[in-house]
Structure 1
Amino acid sequence: MSHKHLVEGPRHALVHNLPLIAAGLVVLLMLSVMLAVSIGAVGIPLDLVWSVVLNHLFPGSVEQSWSAGRDNIVWEVRLPRVILGALVGASLALVGSALQSVTRNPLADPHLLGISSGAALGAIIVLLHTGMFLGLVTLPIFAFVGALVTTAIVVGVANFANATNASRLVLTGVAVSFVITSLGSLGIFLGDPRAAHTVIFWMLGGLGLAQWVQLPYPLLALVACGAYLMVNARNFNAMTLGDESATTLGLPAGRFRMVVFIVCAVLTGAAVAFSGIISFVGLMIPHLVRLAVGGDYRRVLPLSALVGAIFLVLADMVARIIIPPLDMPIGIITGLVGGVFFIALMRRNGRLG
């Protein structure tokens, strides 16, 4: 039996059990969230985690037998952090899936078009130059605006240079990304050296500043933008065939690609504004999902969102416990895992010929 049949057999079985797989991933996500809340510098039993959460959702439903300190750790510190991780992981995985289709570039991810560079520039301006003059919301607002402005520049330059096809648009994004990154480096060079470490930590990614009041923004972006991407799953399938084939099928490829870029910019900006730059999630997760269930975007998009959420929740848990009491930037964990994954993937594809 050929290698192809050995691969397609299990994949065929997975495709026909998609509802069961999705349900299993939802359960796994819930278990991962509770486990991540339980584990940390101060361990909290799972049953106590459930009791604290239920008591906050339904006051008086559980007799309170735990200290105020543990209540604060579960509800105010860890739970919003873990939920933010799930939202960011799902968002980045969705963006990576969408961009890999419309650019037909297997290395496309949320950072490809300078979106994250723009967010980083906004954060650098706040952390090193203006300060938090709007309170705690200053940083995410500037990061989000930076992401959107960078996207507008990429789209404007692409239209000016008539670079609306996939490859030229990617090159435009890379060029703009270099310019924005250079401006960010200049901002660090001219800023207060004593505050530079805060910028570095943000650029390596982290969920330690998560608060309940922040969660509606990435959640709203994920629901709205994710719904648009999933409704257009068939169009993503058409885009993987090339612009000419997509146009033959009645899809205006250039216009659809631009809309997807803007939607992905909003989704990425809302994610990195609160988490910093987290690498490899949007690049790695779609490959992993396609390896399991094939390339149909009606399956790839929702499963990528679930797997991305699970992965980032678990990665953040590892980042918190690997060198206690220090909180390692989560980007280090995702970069290590992502790099090893791609080396293994290349080796596997080489064996399969």
Structure 2
Amino acid sequence: MTTRRRVVVYAVTAVLLAAGVLLSAGVGQLPIGPAEVIGSVLRAIGIGNPWAPTEPLIEQTLWQIRFPRVVMSLLVGALLAVAGAIMQSIFGNPLAEPGVVGVSSGAAVGAAASITFGLALFGGWTTAVFAFAGGLAATLVVYATARAQGRTESVTLILTGIAVNAFAGAALAIFMFAGDTASREQIVFWQLGSMNGSRWNEVLIVVVVGVLATAVSIACARQYDLLALGERTASHLGVRVEVLRIASIVVVALLTGVAVAFVGIISFVGLVVPHLVRMVLGPANRPLMIASLLGGATLLVYADLLARTLIPSADLPIGILTSLIGGPFFYWLIRRTRRRSGGWG
């Protein structure tokens, strides 16, 4: 029954994702039919077909604007969801998500610094590089503080993450105060997240880092299952708990850092998707991560589609939509967890 449920979940999510990709690629100021979208892809991989568009404008719109944006949205959603699944597994806490270790806030500070000071050390890549570096730096600070006597204290790590997030908020306020009007607007827009302007070279970097980090996380899934039995039991069964936790935090930092570096901060995907998947499929981590990957990609493809179409001739920041979904979900999750445990203390 469990295997059948997994297959159903994978199949339904994959169908929804495929439909979302077709819709997102076809909807816009220049409407493009699903047949033309499929035909263009088939022609690009060397398969002749009668559906491929004949107008150069349609081809340019698909391959230079829409396909990079669609692929970036599904990649970012997938990576954030996998990062959330890892966080919930290593902490054994359904409320855990990538922002706990300060990756997103650190990335925001790095991006804000490059914007405010007008840095151009890496050309058009400067903001993304500084965002990625800021996210990794914040994670290292949180981890170094939480590590004591050869082990990582989960409670200390979470509390340090809260402190780092608070400090990052203050740093962002300083950068916004120091910058001019254009810098402030750019920082605010970056914090809200957007897929607008995604390019193939950026997509390639996200693919390379994301595939490697995701492969490592799936390979560790069995150890996460053993860790759920308790640290002592997992150690007796051969799991090097501290090494696993360190590697997991690095993987989360890579997944989240590369996801937000090019598109800005997108909240709650890493919290909502893995938790919903866990409710449907149970705690086994390998199917959980695969389904979270598909679910995160699906969620963000549709969220990006809504961001482009809810208001005519406007492109809403996608972070607004994910927060509208994630905020109420987080509130419900806190109440549900508190009710089941009979209180917090």
Structural RMSD (CA):
2.4
Q: Per-residue displacement from partner, 1:199-246 (whole Å, max 9, x unpaired)?
A: 111101110021011111111122111111111112112222332332
1:287 corresponds to 2:275: yes
| Aligned residue identity for 1:284 | V
Task: Please show how residues 28-47 of structure 1 align to structure 2 within 5 Å.
Answer: 28-47=16-35
Pairing 1:151–2:150 present = no
What amino acid sits opposite 1:96 in the alignment?
G
Deviation at 1:53, TM superposition (A): 2.5
* Aligned-residue offset at 1:133: 4.1
Quote the Cα distance in structure 1 between the aligned partners of 2:6 and 2:51. Answer: 40
- How has the CA–CA distance of structure 1 residues 348 and 185 changed in structure 2, closer, same or farther, with 3 Å as cutoff? closer
Find the aligned partners of 1:162 and 1:175 in 2 and give their Cα distance.
22
Residue 76 in 1 paired to residue 76 in 2? Answer: no
Q: What residue identity is the alignment partner of 1:79?
A: F
In 2, Cα distance between the equivalents of 1:260 and 1:157? Answer: 16
* Corresponding residue SS for 2:311: coil
| Contact 1:53/1:75 (<8 A) preserved | no
Rounded Cα–Cα distance in structure 1 between residues aligned with 2:129 and 2:121:
11
Query: CA, structure 1 residues 164+138, in 2 after alignment: closer, same or farther (shift >3 Å)?
Result: same
* Aligned-partner residue type, residue 71 of structure 1: E
Distance 1:288 1:108 in 2: 13
The residue aligned with 1:252 is 240
* Shift in Å, 1:345: 5.4
Counterpart position of 1:227: 215
Distance 1:72 1:253 in 2: 50
Match for 1:129 among 100, 106, 117?
Answer: 117
State how far apart, in whole Å, the 1-side matches of 2:135 and 2:160 are: 15
Q: Does 1:215 align with 2:203?
A: yes
Q: What code does the residue aligned with 1:204 have?
A: L
1:48 pairs with 2:39: no
Q: Which amino acid letter does the alignment assign opposite residue 236 of structure 2?
A: T
- Are the aligned partners of 1:104 and 1:166 in contact in 2 as well (CA < 8 Å)? no
Distance verdict in 2 for CA 1:339–1:192, change over 3 Å: same
What is the TM-score of this pair, normalised by structure 1?
0.89
Q: CA deviation at 1:60?
A: 6.7
Choose from 188, 201, 204 the match for 2:192: 204
Deviation at 1:338, TM superposition (A): 1.7
CA distance in 1, matches of 2:334, 2:191: 28
Written as runs of structure 1 = structure 2, the 5 A alignment for 1:3-18 is: 13-18=1-6
What per-residue deviation string (whole Å, max 9, x for no partner) do you get for residues 10-52 of structure 1? xxx4543423532443333222211111112332111122222
Alignment partners' CA distance in 2, 1:151 and 1:63? 48
Between the aligned partners of 2:104 and 2:287, the Cα distance in structure 1 is: 27
User: What is the rounded CA distance, in whole Å, between the counterparts of 2:124 and 2:257 in structure 1?
Assistant: 17
Per-residue CA deviation, residues 69-110 of structure 1 (Å, 9 max, x unaligned), is 222221111111010011000100001010011122221111
Residue type of the alignment partner of 1:138: T
Q: Hey, what's the Cα distance between the residues in 1 that align with 2:18 and 2:162?
A: 37
Classify the secondary structure of the residue corresponding to 2:74. helix
SS in 2 for 1:145: helix
Give distance in 2, aligned partners of 1:194 and 1:42: 30
Instruction: State whether residues 308 and 316 of structure 2, in contact with CA within 8 Å, keep that contact through their aligned partners in structure 1.
Output: yes
Decide which moves more: 226-235 or 54-63: 54-63
The answer (yes or no) to whether the contact 2:69–2:199 under 8 Å persists in 1 is: yes
The aligned counterpart of 1:307 is 295
Opposite residue 312 of structure 2, the aligned amino acid is P
SS at 2:59's partner residue?
Answer: helix
1:269 to 252, 257, 268: 257
2:97 paired residue number: 109
- Stretch moving more, 109-118 or 34-43: 34-43
Deviates more, 1:186-195 or 1:224-233: 186-195
* CA pair 202-165 structure 1, distance change in 2 beyond 3 A: same
TM-score, normalised via structure 2 length:
0.91
The residue number in structure 2 matching 1:298 is 286
Aligned amino acid, residue 55 of structure 2: S
Give 1:163 deviation, angstroms: 6.9
Which amino acid letter does the alignment assign opposite residue 132 of structure 2? Answer: F
Work out the number of aligned pairs and report it: 341
Deviation at 1:344, TM superposition (A): 5.3
Identity %: 37
More displaced stretch, 272-281 vs 120-129: 120-129
In structure 1, the partner of 2:159 is: 171
**Alpha-carbon deviation of 1:155?**
2.0
Letter of the structure 2 residue corresponding to residue 217 of structure 1: I
Separation (CA, whole Å) in 2 of partners of 1:244 and 1:170: 21
Matched, 1:184 2:172: yes
- Paired residues of 2:110 and 2:132 also in contact (CA < 8 A): yes
State the alpha-carbon separation in 1 of the partners of residues 166 and 333 from structure 2.
Answer: 28
* 2:147 match: secondary structure: helix
- Structure 1 residue aligned with 2:76, among 88, 93, 106? 88
**Change beyond 3 A, Cα 1:145–1:62:** farther
